């Protein structure tokens, strides 16, 4: 029996409220849901109405009402043996906890939501919406990979239930992924994702289905286009694709209002009005959760750079980095504090551990950290595969820190991470080992292939415009490669240690060799 079959009272009212929320008319939905809650005697109807009402309050940004709404919904759902309800409620509670800045509660709710939604035996349209809201919660917490997986699950279930594909387009998920890349210094990666988002919207336009997109999705497509324009990309401003018009959609969604305001800043920059963009930012207040706390600072940096005030742009960029790094640090600390150990059931602890891979990255660069690097190499070697590792060390980095300070050094490390990632082969692995040292792993590669990778990395670093980032302190890179052998010692750890030592020696030799100018 599907969830829809269990609700027997005021079904039409609940469907109407759901349609209103899909159309970003959550205030109207609240009126209907309040009436259902007051008058129904059916426990399933009351529980569904309370869960929907929580969703509407989140859409409206009425944070002061979140706690009471969660308590009321939890009381109604607690004794009902319906996995969907528990899953959807926890997905929404995760969103609410994120808005309230409670990351530990947020992650706990994510774990519970995924577990409950995965246990639904007869998934229907309601279950699809549960997965959709879980995807949103993942996205806002920066678990971008899990967000994409959850929204794909929502699409599959929605298609089976007759929900059009465009209902679950969810461009905001990839939009948040894109701006996070930009906040961490990878503007090229940001543009690649934004262009993919534009490609999807173009497909809906050509098929005549853009008018069926949800208003909040139209607003997200508008911001994605405006953000591309601010970064210097040419965007289509023709009929149906004009970002200024798309940003007008969104109804009473608080997040869509935030994107509309920041979108005007982006368009002012793109249209050659950077000072107006800065003024707009001075009087604009948006929620940190919509696109991350770093987004206004990053837009300020772009605007000031276009206005020719590079020193102020640099300061704004450093602020954007610090805000992004603080978020990564907080997320990491959730795990260091042992959130998984605070979840009661062993199975749920295992579920929580799934998120560790995304949380335990280097908070500065977003790359895998040393612990994940060692696990990765160990797994490759244990499978009997040939693997070459490369140690990359920056040249001139001490001068950057001495002359410009550690914040500028952090920006250089972010930029280097993006540069190395950009030129690697498909399937290669890049990690930050510590300080200004990075490690690249080339599965199945020969030493001659490794030499070619080294030339690509060196060339890309040499071509980067370091003068605009850290004037007067050029940055280079030295690289040494070595193959991990199976005969370097009695254990895998010995083999890895020997390979790292050999690669490190080659890197030091590279530092003494003459460089191309």
Given the structure tokens 């550690």, which residue do they identify?
A: 406
Total number of domains constituting the chain: 1
CA distance 48 to 70: 13
Q: Which residue has better confidence, 294 or 341?
A: 294
Band the pLDDT of 409: cuts 50, 70, 90: confident
Q: Is the pLDDT of residue 359 over 60?
A: no
Q: Closest Cα partner for 131 from 102, 170, 103?
A: 170
**Lookup: tokens for 428:** 């290669």
Residue that has been written with the tokens 């999705």 in this structure: 217
- According to the model, what pLDDT value does residue 111 have? 82
- Answer whether residue 228 is part of any domain: no
Q: Summarize pLDDT for 169-200 with one digit per residue, the tens.
A: 999 999 999 998 888 888 888 999 999 999 99
Q: Is residue 432 part of a domain?
A: yes
- When pLDDT is averaged across residues 331-358 and rounded to a whole number, the result is 51
Better pLDDT: 80 or 413: 413
The residue that leads in pLDDT, 476 or 512, is 476
- The predicted model gives 47-61 an average pLDDT of 90
In angstroms, the Cα distances linking 320 to 292, 344, 490 are 10, 37, 47
Are 374 and 496 in contact, with CB atoms under 8 Å apart? yes
Spatial separation of the C-alpha atoms in residues 293 and 486, rounded to whole Å: 47
H/E element holding 390? strand 387-395
Band (331; pLDDT cuts 50, 70, 90)? low
| Structure confidence at residue 133 as a pLDDT band (50, 70, 90) | confident
The model's confidence at residue 4, banded by pLDDT at 50, 70 and 90, is low
Does any domain span residue 80?
Answer: no
235-287: per-residue pLDDT in tens?
A: 988 778 899 999 998 777 888 899 999 999 999 999 999 999 999 999 988 88
Provide the pLDDT for residue 365: 83
DSSP string, 182-234: HHTT-HHHHHHHHHHHHHHHHHHHHTT-GGGS-HHHHHHHHHHHHHHHHTT--
Confidence at residue 307, expressed as pLDDT on a 0 to 100 scale = 94
Task: Reply yes or no on whether the pLDDT at 122 is more than 60.
Answer: yes
**How far apart, in whole angstroms, are the C-alpha atoms of residue 393 and residue 476?**
9
Quote the radius of gyration of the chain (alpha carbons, Å): 25
* 291 lies in some domain: no
Q: Distance between CA atoms of 154 and 138, rounded to whole angstroms?
A: 13
**Within a domain: residue 468?**
yes
Contact 361, 328 (CB under 8 A): yes
Mean pLDDT of 213-227: 93
pLDDT band at 72 (very low <50, low <70, confident <90, very high): very high
Judge whether 196 and 235 are in contact, CB under 8 Å.
Answer: no
Contacts of 428 (CB under 8 A, 6+ apart): 440, 441, 442, 443, 453
Instruction: Specify the pairing of strand 437-443 against strand 429-434.
Output: antiparallel
Q: How confident is the model at residue 306 (pLDDT cuts 50, 70, 90)?
A: very high
Give the pLDDT mean for 473-502.
79
Better-scored residue on pLDDT, 147 or 223: 223
- Rounded mean pLDDT of the chain? 85
**What distance lies between CA 472 and its chain's CA centroid?**
34
Determine the structural domain holding residue 437 and report its residue range: 368-512
- Cα-Cα end-to-end distance for the chain: 72
446-452 contacts, C-beta under 8 A, 24 or more apart: 446/388, 447/388, 447/481, 447/483, 449/388, 450/388, 450/390, 450/481, 451/481
Phi, psi of 363 (to 5 degrees): -70, -20
- Residues 6 or more apart whose CB falls under 8 angstroms from that of 13 comprise 32, 35, 36
Neighbours of 368 (CB within 10 A): 22
Q: Which CATH number do you get for residue 490?
A: 3.30.70.270
Lowest average pLDDT, out of 71-75, 127-131, 226-230, 482-486, goes to 482-486
Q: How far is CA 161 from the centre of its chain?
A: 28
Q: Is residue 454 part of a domain?
A: yes
Q: Is 404 a member of any domain? A: yes
Rounded to 5°, the CA angle 87-91-97 comes to 140
Mean pLDDT in residue range 356-367: 69
């Amino acid at each position: 029996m599907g969830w829809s079959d269990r609700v027997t009272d005021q079904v039409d009212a609940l469907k109407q409220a759901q349609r209103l929320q899909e159309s970003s008319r959550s205030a109207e939905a609240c009126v209907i849901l309040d009436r259902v809650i007051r008058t129904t005697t059916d426990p399933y109807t009351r529980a569904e109405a309370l869960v929907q009402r929580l969703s509407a309050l989140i859409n409206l940004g009425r944070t002061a009402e979140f706690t009471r709404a969660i308590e009321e919904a939890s009381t109604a759902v607690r004794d009902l043996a319906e996995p969907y309800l528990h899953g959807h409620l926890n997905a929404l509670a995760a969103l609410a906890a994120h808005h309230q800045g409670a990351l530990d509660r947020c992650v706990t709710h994510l774990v519970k939501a995924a577990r409950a939604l995965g246990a639904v035996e007869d998934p229907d349209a309601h279950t699809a919406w549960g997965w959709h809201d879980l995807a949103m919660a993942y996205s806002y917490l920066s678990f971008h990979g899990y967000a994409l997986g959850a929204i794909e699950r929502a699409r599959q279930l929605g298609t089976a239930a007759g929900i059009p594909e465009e209902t679950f387009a969810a461009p905001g998920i990839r939009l948040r992924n894109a701006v996070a890349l930009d906040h961490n210094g990878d503007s090229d990666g940001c543009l690649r994702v934004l262009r993919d988002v534009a490609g999807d919207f173009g497909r809906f336009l050509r098929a005549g289905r853009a008018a069926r997109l949800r208003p909040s999705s139209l607003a997200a497509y508008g911001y994605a286009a405006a953000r591309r324009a601010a970064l210097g990309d040419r965007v289509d401003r023709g009929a149906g694709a004009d970002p200024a018009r798309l940003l007008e959609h969104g109804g009473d969604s608080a997040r869509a209002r935030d994107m509309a305001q920041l979108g005007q800043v982006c368009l002012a920059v793109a249209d050659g009005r950077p000072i107006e963009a800065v003024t707009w930012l001075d009087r604009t207040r948006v929620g940190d959760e919509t696109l991350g706390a770093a987004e206004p600072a990053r837009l300020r940096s772009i605007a000031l750079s276009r206005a020719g005030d590079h020193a102020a742009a640099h300061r704004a960029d450093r602020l954007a980095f610090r805000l992004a790094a603080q978020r990564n640090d907080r997320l990491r600390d959730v795990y260091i504090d042992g959130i998984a150990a605070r979840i009661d059931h062993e199975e749920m602890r295992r579920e929580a551990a799934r998120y560790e891979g995304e949380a335990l990255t280097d908070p500065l660069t977003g790359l895998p950290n040393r612990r994940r690097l060692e696990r990765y190499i160990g797994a490759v070697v244990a499978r009997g595969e040939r693997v070459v590792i490369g140690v990359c060390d920056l040249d001139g980095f001490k001068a950057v820190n001495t002359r410009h300070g550690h914040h500028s050094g952090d920006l250089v490390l972010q930029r280097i991470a993006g540069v190395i990632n950009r030129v690697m082969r498909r399937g290669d692995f890049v990690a930050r080992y510590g300080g200004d040292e990075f490690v690249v792993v080339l599965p199945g590669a020969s030493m001659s292939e490794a030499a070619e990778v080294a030339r690509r990395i060196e060339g890309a670093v040499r071509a980067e415009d370091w003068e605009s980032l850290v004037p007067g302190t050029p940055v280079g890179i030295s690289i040494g490669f070595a193959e991990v052998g199976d005969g370097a010692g009695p254990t895998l750890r010995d083999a890895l240690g020997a390979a790292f030592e050999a690669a490190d020696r080659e890197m030091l030799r590279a530092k003494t060799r003459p460089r191309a100018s």
